[in-house]
Structure 1
């Protein structure tokens, strides 16, 4: 699933607020699934230290969804349309950062592991400082 925002393909995203889990945040980003978005598990965790703060991105996988089920979903951003597109098209259209997250997440989904990306570098496991993140 991707968000088509005025012709720009992105991975659906949103903020995880204090006291909220990434799975709860995902429910707010993509709405419309009967019973809520069927989150399977976190497949990637990426972080980058900016000048002011550390930005942490959780990439979650859902259980398989039909095109009909995806068609019922809507993004928090009303300008975006949730779409199912061929993987190669999505990878071509994503930014370099988005492409890395998507490829690493797909590999982690296939291997049953969680991938960790720090500042654009893929690591085999989470550093101790991130092992506390829910």
Structure 2
């Protein structure tokens, strides 16, 4: 596991962001990498699917232009980072599931199943 911090420069859809990551603690603004991040353990609808735009808008409202923390879990088959996004200590991946904008991605993680059950119960 590796931790990064940076600013969310773009929200691509309900489970993908672009992060301007600070890659050096000594001189954080000297080394910035633009990374595509897939949110770990969740699956949001694609933009063309039902509620895809709403999922993107909700994620944008939470994190766009915000300084965030990221715990990298792994990389996907396309070599993109997969991680858990935090804003002021709040697990953003969990918020997406809890509020019904994404599903727990059960084939990769059991992490957000309780939040998914709550979201279904409260519709």
Provide the TM-score with structure 2 as the length reference: 0.28
Provide the TM-score with structure 1 as the length reference: 0.27
Q: Indicate the structure with greater helix content.
A: 1
Q: Indicate the structure with greater strand content.
A: 2
